[in-house]
Amino acid sequence: MLIDSHCHVLKSEYENPEVVIKKALASGVNKIIINGYDLQSSFEAVNLANKYENVYACVGIGPQNISDFNDDVYQKIKILASRRKVVAIGEIGLDYYWTKENKDSQILVFKKMLGIAKENNLPVIVHCRKAFLDTYNLLKEYNSSGIIHCYSGSLEMASEFIKLGFLLGIGGIVTFKNAKEIKEVVREVNISNLSLETDSPYLSPEPFRGKVNVPDNVILVAKEISKIKGLSLQEVISETGKAVCGKFDL
């Protein structure tokens, strides 16, 4: 089962997201998980998921979209979280790479989102950049599980997240020549702890680096992982697919 476990196929990113979805499903991607990052994109993700059997939605407020957060937004995300095709709260998390100045507000919103996940018994899809310790401690505190999207940390931290019950989301970066650390993580970690993702429209894999990404390219991530780990492509697709289906009850 070939699954793109993290993308943003949304109107704010593409002229016609439904064309992108249909093309991906026709080209062999079996399931697509669309992640919101603010209220509007979360609504849109749910609407798209309702239209296509093999499209699922995640709803939440990401660390780069916390400035509009208030109680009204919180209540609306809470309602969205209970909708039928919503499989996780995401993309949520902490990003100290762009700015550390609003660290406290980032943590506050992240906690609210982890709370919604817990109340609804849902996994989370986590964005974590230069904030591994705080992210780890909060995920542990809330007893969360899910995916660390676009994993970019050390091998040591990777095994800590895996012990908590998280999959590591691997995307286009793994195909970049200079991505030594993530290639090492992929080599060392068991295939059943990885999920495939594109983060479309961002982070296109080679040979499309720098271009607009689409979920179809998830196969290129699978091929690179198969090369690094010395596993057959079929094995990479079926093991990661099984892990994601299990985690998100697909």
Which residues lie near Ni ion (CB under 5 A)? 91, 199
CB of 61 to Ni ion, least distance (A): 13
Between 44 and 199, whose beta carbon lies closer to Ni ion?
A: 199
CB of 35 to Ni ion, least distance (A): 6
Choice between 66 and 229, CB closer to Ni ion: 66
Measured from the CB atom, the residue of 172 and 241 that comes closer to Ni ion is: 172
Smallest distance from Ni ion to CB 202, Å: 7
Q: Which is nearer to Ni ion, 204 or 229 (CB)?
A: 204
Closest to Ni ion by CB, 38 or 91: 91
Residue 5 Cβ vs Ni ion, minimum distance, rounded to whole Å: 11
Minimum separation from the CB atom of position 128 to Ni ion (A): 11
Question: By beta-carbon distance, which residue lies closest to Ni ion?
Answer: 199
DSSP secondary structure string for all residues of the chain: --EEEEE--STTT-S-HHHHHHHHHHTT--EEEEEP-SHHHHHHHHHHHHH-TTEEEEE---GGGGGG--HHHHHHHHHHHTSTTEEEEEEEEEETTT-STTHHHHHHHHHHHHHHHHHTT--EEEEEES-HHHHHHHHHHTT--EEEET--S-HHHHHHHHHHTEEEEE-GGGGSTT-HHHHHHHHHS-GGGEEE---TTS-PPTTSTTSPP-GGGHHHHHHHHHHHHT--HHHHHHHHHHHHHHHHT-
